[in-house]
Amino acid sequence: MKSKMPGSVLWLFAVASGLSVANVYYAQPLLDALARDFNIGQAAVGGVVSATQVGCALALLLLVPLGDRVNRRRLMALQLLALVAALIAVAMAKSTLALLGGMLAVGLLGTAMTQGLIAYAASAAQPHEQGRVVGAAQSGVFIGLLLARVFAGAVSDLAGWRGVYLCAAALMLAIALPLWRWLPNLPAVSNAMSYQRLLASMLTLLRQDKVLQVRGILALLMFAVFNIFWSGLVLPLSAPPFGFSHTMIGALGLVGVVGALAAARAGRWADRGFGQRTSAVALALLLVAWWPLSLMERSLGALVVGIVLLDLGGQALHVTNQSMIFRGRAEEHSRRVGIYMLFYALGSGAGAISTTATYAYAGWRGVCVLGAVVSVSALLFWRATLNVGVDRLDGRTSAPTGCV
């Protein structure tokens, strides 16, 4: 009988990944408070989220690939301590420049931790269970992303937005010892590449791997959709006639947990060769979700339905994407996830900055139209690339390995 990763280790990967990614998203329900404290205009406050996404992009280019060259557990420990320092720096920020610099550092280190853990989990898993393990860890990421808004809203109402980042630093310190003690200490990576060659090999890998290209573009469009919604939602809900508190706005993230848990099986479906079917359903859900979301001003019930559909589709597509791109050698996992998530960072940053600008000119309806247009684009792109690397997409062959 094939061995499986112990459930306790799988849970640790999921919890740690969720706590790490949450740091990148705490700012979203706090945008109006940050705008007031730092005198940032409504149309420009999305730049706070975009600064975090710049940090994400730098992490994916410069830090995440290191997991293919050095001991992953030691790298994780150093990044965790640096992340704690960055969170404290944000909490202490006194100027807009200091805030943006701190947010960039949080995006850099939070992303390096999160994606490093995903690659770590994929490398520690047996080949027959990679989809299951990546799906479980990614569910932790997604739930952490959603609960970040609840946590940020509740703590902000009690202790201000600075208290959010101080509490986040304490949570990361609390998870440090369990990670160091209980995550598997994998054999040393047998990769003698210099750092410069390691980074250069990412371009070669992307150029050679058509599946990675397709899944990367889908990730860019999907995360643009996510950030169009979540970055835009706080603006109408915090204003009349709703006037919701940060706690109430953040609590809407709990609704998305339903979709995240339901989509956790997407990795197992990819293991069985159903990746394309799962992708089609997920992309259709992303598009359909914008109809109930557009009815928010009439019914909060419609908003809830839209959130569930959006998160279900997004989570299923993301898990399926990652299950497919990890079908290569363990020595490539960190670079693969770095390349893939670089598309995510670009999409997230574009979604955040375009949303606040769109809302300033066209309101919530304009935001919904923008989200629907991007969702249609993603579905059409998937259909146009349906036969690209079809044997690999269904999980029947392994990925090219020319970059190692």
Contact 121, 12 (CB under 8 A): no
DSSP string, 286-354: HHHTHHHHHTTTT-HHHHHHHHHHHHHHHHHHHHHHHHHHT-S-GGGHHHHHHHHHHHHHHHHHHHHHH
Per-residue confidence (pLDDT) for residue 402, from 0 to 100: 30
For residue 178, whether the previous peptide bond is cis, meaning omega lies within 30 degrees of 0, is no
Indicate the pTM of the whole model.
0.77
CA torsion angle 257 261 263 269 (round to 10): 170
* Closest to 50 measured CA to CA, from 115, 93, 99: 99
Tell me the CATH number of domain 10-183+192-393, given options 3.20.20.70, 3.30.1180.20, 3.50.50.60, 1.20.1250.20. Answer: 1.20.1250.20
Q: For the chain, give every domain's residue range.
A: 10-183+192-393
* Closest to 250 measured CA to CA, from 85, 99, 11, 33: 33
Residue ranges, the chain, pLDDT below 70: 1-3, 42-43, 127, 187-192, 246, 250, 253, 259-260, 262-264, 271, 328-330, 388-404
Contact 294, 335 (CB under 8 A): no
Per-residue confidence (pLDDT) for residue 260, from 0 to 100: 67
Per-residue confidence (pLDDT) for residue 41, from 0 to 100: 73
Assigned token pair, 146: 């959603």
Per-residue confidence (pLDDT) for residue 262, from 0 to 100: 67
Per-residue confidence (pLDDT) for residue 398, from 0 to 100: 34
Q: Which helix (H) or strand (E) holds 97?
A: helix 96-124
How far apart CA 8 and CA 182 sit, in angstroms, is 9
CA distances in angstroms from 281 to 225, 303, 321, 339, 373, listed in the order given: 16, 20, 13, 25, 17
Contact 191, 404 (CB under 8 A): yes
DSSP helix/strand/coil, 387: coil
Per-residue confidence (pLDDT) for residue 224, from 0 to 100: 93
Instruction: Give the pLDDT confidence of 231-240 residue by residue, as tens digits.
Output: 888 888 877 7
